[in-house]
Structure 1
Amino acid sequence: MAVDRLKSTWEKLGKADPLWAVLTDPERRHGGWQVDEFLATAAQPVARVRELLDDAGLSLGDRTLDFGCGAGRLANALAEHVKEVVGVDIAQSMIDEANRINQFPDRVEFVAYDGHRLPFEDESFDSVVSLISIQHSPPAVQLACLVELQRVVRDGGVLVCQIPFRPSRPENLPQTAMRARIELVEVPSPVGVGQAAPVRARVTNAGDRVWPAGRLIRLGNHWLRDGEPVRWNDGRADLPHDLAPGASVELELPVVGPDEPGEYELELDVVQEAVAWWAEAGSETVRTGVTVVSGTVVEVPALSPQQELVVDPRPAPRGRDDGGMEMFGMDSNLVRLLFTHCGSEIVNIVPDDMAGAEWESFTYIVRRGS
């Protein structure tokens, strides 16, 4: 189900605004990227990859896989350094755009895959590069991706993978600021098992100071059954702007029906990520009953484009703003253990800023073992 959601998300993004979905500069939305300008942005990260490999005495070799290639930005830049590049992505719409703007059709190929097993033989690449891609996959999908990347790289080849670790802890608001009044505007019921649906709510700052946007302050939800939580973390909706005491904003929160049919309570609360759910500081939550049924409920309204996914509006460097894309960190010790378990060597773990200023992120340089 996680793979299906991921594929559906990126298919839609690839059809709507593929270049912006890869590089979400807010000023370039709705077709604002020029192709040449978009492709030119890959020169610096690819140069950094080359530098890290040179420092480790490694190379990309002759055949490189660009994993999570999107519209082919990195693949085109990598073609300046290797004989053959294959870009692979879960979304056919992204592959279609990558083929359309391919600058090296004789040496760069783009392939869509099903999100499970890569359509390549074992040890068929000298290297793999994956930047700002794995961070958008749910945890179980991340693990599967890394195992597959290990599989398709030859013995002695290299993997260069950027993955965020965890959100940087934001500056804590005082508890007197952690006060919210939440009013339900629209709640769909019933909701299908695993079905995404929008909840609309009005949130008022009932605290004593401004809630600053970009501080990971979000409306979130829990699912409860018989008073016990069955899913604590689900949807998120971010503040569109700073919110002064007494001011209100209407938000659309994307929630996903629990895995089993039945009667549930949907609870809404405000959270400052990596700090606290505000109920812990004395803020009031709001609850409502929701019926969850087997199958898809056709009449559940569609999510609006602005809130179709969990939003992460962190103020990232160089204009990155991944509004609309889910972000998932992965513990660096887990990455290390996974590759070590597979017989590979972690050559270097380098801090980077690719996931934005609100995330700790690392680029892993891995020499593939047998």
Structure 2
Amino acid sequence: MPVDRFKSTWENLGKDDPLWAVLTDPERRHGGWDLDEFLATGVGPIASVANLVDEAGLSFGERLIDLGCGAGRLSHALAAHVHEVVGVDVAQSMVDEANRINRFPDRLSFVHYDGFRLPFEDESFDSALTLISLQHSPPPLQIAALLELQRVVRPGGVLVFQLPCRPSKREELTTDGMRAAIELLDAPTPIGAGQAVPVRARVTNTSGHTWPSGQLIRLGNHWLRGDDPVTWDDGRTDLPHDVAPGTSVELELQVVAPEETGEYQLELDFVQEGVTWWAQVGSTPVRTAVTVVAEPVAVAPASGGEQEIVIAALQAPHERKDGGIEMFGVDTNLVRLLFAHCGSEVVNVVADDMAGEDWESFTYVVRRGETI
């Protein structure tokens, strides 16, 4: 979808039915939203992400940009948490509607932009947020938008954003199916602080049940100091196909080293997203010692893992059952690698339901790194 077509789509939605286009309840089409009720729906989601920011030891600060603000539903809720909110949208019709219903004109403003470059100076905001907005943009536009948010947020500031990963219908494994033998084949050490590196492992299904692909069954990793977690959620890689009992498959996992130098344990374990890490139900993870140094270290190139991630990210759009605009997903590993490359830290990744029941979706909390 070219940018002009994307902008035209939202421009028309903003003219025809702006509140429904932002929040697509099938029963609220054709002007069916009550304005007070519409704005009230933003309070809960913003309270939830504010808690995530607090738990990460970060702050929204004084000035926040709300990208893809639409008619200002979340911008109004954000005004209770920061001194100044600037909502930005590609559709002038949405910006006009947001300005029309603006209840905090002293602290809340709305700006139109061209879909390419945000009309703000570098490092001019303390924080950035975008929820249930980027999911409607093709992946190249999603990545470009994330880079623009990285540009306009100051070092040490926070970015909070939600992105779907892929359509999903999960069937929960029984705990006796969650048994794996994990053999490390390649785990570089030393590696640089914040450096992204590939780790290869051979995994064997030691249970009596087939592991079905496409069910959010993934090899993942944690970073530990002793037995204390430093980074619990880091990389993920999916099964390439069903894995029958007694059979093995080699997987490559992209991991990102902690930001502080020192001695760490890199732990690999399986997880079924939204269910449990397998070590918690009796499977045995594997650990290896890794030294993290100040400067990046040359490592062998990935054996195709990054290419597979990009292919997963550029998947075709999917129509929504509620009649809303099409949806696109971006792989979580690609998002992690993007911000690691930019020198920022993905502090937390939390599964959410913002993309609907047919999509696997995540909310990311990122601490913006120093300018590089």
Task: Compute the TM-score of the two structures, normalised by the length of structure 2.
Answer: 0.59
Matches within 5 A, 1:96-115: 96-115=96-115
Structure 2 counterpart of 1:132, which letter? I
Letter in 1 for 2:78: L
2:60 corresponds to 1:52:
no
* Structure 1 residue ranges, 4+ long, deviating more than 4 angstroms after superposition: none
| 2:24–2:324 contact (8 Å) kept in structure 1 | no
Q: Map 1:1-370 onto structure 2 (within 5 A).
A: 2-169=2-169, 311-313=319-321, 321=322, 323-370=323-370
Deviation string 1:17-65 (CA, Å, 9 cap, x unpaired) is 0000000001111000011110000000000011101111111100000
8 Å Cα contact 1:168/1:358 also seen in 2: yes
Q: Distance in 2 between matches of 1:78 and 1:102?
A: 13
How many matched pairs?
Answer: 225
Secondary structure, counterpart of 1:111 in structure 2: strand
Corresponding position of 1:264: none
1:169 corresponds to which letter in structure 2?
K
C-alpha distance in 2 between matches for 1:123 and 1:46: 23
Name the aligned partner's letter for residue 12 of structure 1. Answer: N
Alpha-carbon distance between aligned partners in 2 of 1:144 and 1:116, rounded to the nearest angstrom: 7
Q: Runs of 5+ in structure 2 lacking a partner?
A: 172-316
Aligned partners of 1:145 and 1:20: how far apart in 2? Answer: 23
Q: Distance in 2 between matches of 1:151 and 1:39?
A: 29
Deviations 1:319-369, CA, capped at 9 Å, x for gaps: xx3x24010000000000001100000000000000000000000000000
Distance 1:170 1:2 in 2: 32
Matches of 1:5 and 1:336 in 2, distance apart?
A: 29
Q: Distance in 1 between matches of 2:4 and 2:169?
A: 31
Identity of aligned residues (%): 72
User: Residues 109-134 of structure 1: CA distance to partner in whole angstroms, max 9, x if unpaired?
Assistant: 10000000000000010000100001
Is the CA contact (8 Å cut-off) linking 1:170 and 1:358 kept in structure 2?
no
Q: Distance in 1 between matches of 2:117 and 2:81?
A: 27
Q: CA offset at residue 310 of structure 1?
A: 6.3
- Structure 1: segments with no counterpart, 5+ residues: 172-308, 314-320
Per-residue deviation, residues 194-249 of structure 1 (Å, max 9, x unmatched): xxxxxxxxxxxxxxxxxxxxxxxxxxxxxxxxxxxxxxxxxxxxxxxxxxxxxxxx
Normalized against structure 1, the TM-score is what? 0.60
Q: Take 2:355 and 2:318, find their aligned partners in 1: how far apart are those partners?
A: 15
